[in-house]
Structure formats: structure tokens, C-alpha cells
Amino acid sequence: GLTAKDFALVEPMSVGFHAVARAAVTDLDIVMVIGCGMIGVGAIIRAALRGAKVIAIDVDDTKLALAKRLGAIYTINSKTEDVHKRLQSLTQNDGPDVVIEAVGASVTYQMAINEVAFTGRVVCIGYAKTEIAFETKYFVQKELDIRGSRNAMPEDFRAVIGYLKRGTCPKDELISGIYKPEQVREAMETWIADPGKVFRILIQFE
């Protein structure tokens, strides 16, 4: 069966699994996941389970280290490294076949379009808070498929549950805090103070 920690992870992880399904990822693909939060982590796990070579992008070295343990072959800190240069080196100058955008920022959306390979697939999960401008020539010249992804399908939930039942997921690292009902305010304040450091918060009822 599943534990309370498992149930806390099922929904967000399934969103990442669904994005990989939307991208039709296979074991022949190089997949770049931008953003190693809870949903990005789900995408990394699912892409790796499908046999793809996964490149994880984030600005947090701790998250990147976790991404590597969860299946990423390579990691790039976009704050301290030249993403384009590293990607060209890792992909023989082709770029990744698939890019999954799981941040929702202008710079990461543009990175996805700029770095994906010709005839590549871009799947967008992150919600941008402002309008994002693109040079549409890249869509046409590179013959890109750009797809949105939200929520998940029953098969995604089943796949996540199957993965969690194997017991290989480092759940303690993905549950950022466990709080009692009377500590809900404290839990919310922790998340608001530094949302980038929080994967999932569990409110446990006895």
C-alpha cells in the first residue's frame, strides 16, 4: 500500500509524468527538463524510466544533485554555467530532442525554444505570469512541435503509484516538511518565504 508521504507525491509527480507522455518520449531521445521542482522531478523520473538520456537544468545545486539520483544523466546550473555551450557539447551540437519547461519564466520559455533540436518537441508545463515574446522564425525554421501540458490522465497516476510502490523514491527528500493541522500557518509561511526550496508539504492528521 501507499503511505501518507506517497499520497502527497502522487498528484504533482503525475503532472510531470503526463508531460513526458505529451512529448512522446522514447529511449532514443535526449530530454532536457528545465526546473527541478516537484513537477520537474516527476518528468525526470518518467523520462529516465522510458530509457531517455535526461539533462536537468536548475539554479540550485541541491536540486540538481537530487535530479541526478532520480535519473538525470547530466545536470547544468543555469546560474553558473553556459547552458548553450554545455548542451552543444552534450548533444554533438544538435540540442535535445525534447525540452520540458517546468518553471514558467520568460527566460526558461525562451531557453526551451532556442535550445531544442530541429524538429524537436517542446512541452510547456509552467505558467508564466506575464506575456512572453518569441521570434516566431524559430518555430518555422526548426519545424518545432510545441505542446501544452496540465494535470494528468489515469494512466499517469497508475504509473506514479507503481513507481512509488517499488520503494526506490527518496520520499524524505521530496517531503520538505511535515506539520500538524494547528501548524498550517507555519507551513504556509515556510513555503511563502522560500518557495523554490519547498518540494511538498504534508499536513498530517492523527
The answer to whether residue 73 scores a pLDDT higher than 90 is yes
Structural domain includes residue 175? no
Residue matched to cell numbers 531557453? 111
Structural domain includes residue 165? no
**Domain of 49: which CATH number?**
3.40.50.720
The answer to whether residue 136 scores a pLDDT higher than 90 is no
Structural domain includes residue 119? yes
Q: pLDDT above 70 covers what percent of the chain?
A: 100
The answer to whether residue 129 scores a pLDDT higher than 90 is no
Structural domain boundaries, residue 138: 4-148
pLDDT of residue 68: 97
pLDDT of residue 196: 82
Let me know the angle formed at the C-alpha of 200 by 194 and 205, rounded to the nearest 5 degrees. 120
Pick the closest to residue 60 from 49, 76, 73 (CA basis). Answer: 76
**67-72 long-range Cβ contacts below 8 angstroms, 24+ apart:** 67/33, 67/36, 67/40, 67/41, 69/170, 70/41, 70/44, 70/45, 70/169, 70/170, 71/44, 71/45, 71/47, 72/33, 72/44, 72/48
Q: Are 122 and 143 within 8 A, CB to CB?
A: no
Calpha distance 156→174 (Å, rounded): 19
Q: Classify 76 as helix, strand or coil.
A: strand
For the entire predicted model, the pTM comes to 0.93
Q: Find the mean pLDDT for residues 62-90.
A: 97
pLDDT of residue 197: 84
Length, in residues, of the chain = 206
Q: Find the mean pLDDT for residues 122-145.
A: 90
The answer to whether residue 66 scores a pLDDT higher than 90 is yes
Structural domain includes residue 167? no
User: Residue 184 to residues 174, 178, 187, 193, 205: CA-CA distances in angstroms?
Assistant: 18, 10, 5, 14, 11
Supply the DSSP symbol for 178: E
The answer to whether residue 206 scores a pLDDT higher than 80 is no
- Render 91-104 in DSSP notation, one character per residue: TTTS--SEEEE-S-
pLDDT of residue 139: 87
pLDDT of residue 35: 98
Structural domain includes residue 128? yes
User: What mean pLDDT value characterizes the chain?
Assistant: 95
Structural domain includes residue 187? no
Which band of pLDDT confidence, cut at 50, 70 and 90, is reported for residue 16? very high
pLDDT of residue 1: 79
Q: Are 87 and 32 within 8 A, CB to CB?
A: yes
Pick the closest to residue 5 from 196, 194, 165, 195 (CA basis). Answer: 165
Q: pLDDT above 90 covers what percent of the chain?
A: 84
The answer to whether residue 132 scores a pLDDT higher than 90 is no
Structural domain includes residue 156? no
Which band of pLDDT confidence, cut at 50, 70 and 90, is reported for residue 154? very high
Q: Find the mean pLDDT for residues 73-87.
A: 98
| Total count of domains within the chain | 1
